[in-house]
Amino acid sequence: MIAQTEFDKFVKDYNDDYLLLLKRASKQHYECLISAFMVLKDFYNLIHVIYDSGQYTYKVLPYPLSFRADEVLLKQLNFDNQEIQNIFGFLDHVKATQGLDFEDCLQAGTVAMCARV
């Protein structure tokens, strides 16, 4: 069993990592980014499993894993218009290199890893 403070740190760490990955996408640093999001997805799922035990509360909500068409969230996270276009460009990059939509790659797991160079 973990303490509430540890759970809070998990959520903070998840949110920090989520922002870091979005920043990479906003600068068009797409290399192995889908793999990093797969790891983050596992962390996101762990947080929800722990929360669903009923013993913990969210002081801060974890960011939603998918950011498709969520320009409002991206603006709230202080991304400018060009950075938002680059983030959405990552979705196009995933489709072009993996043959799957971003969310489908996350579901596929390790089958969809880094794009071939």
For 79, the token pair is 């991304």
With CA atoms as reference, report the closest residue to 99 among 84, 113, 79, 117: 113
pLDDT at 11 (0 to 100): 98
Q: What are 87-104's pLDDT values in tens digits?
A: 999 999 999 988 888 888
How many residues make up the chain in this entry?
A: 117
11, 60 in Cβ contact below 8 A? yes
25 in Cβ contact with 87 (< 8 Å): yes
Q: What is the DSSP letter of 116?
A: P
Residues 96-113, mean pLDDT to the nearest whole number? 79
Distance CA 50, CA 94 (A): 30
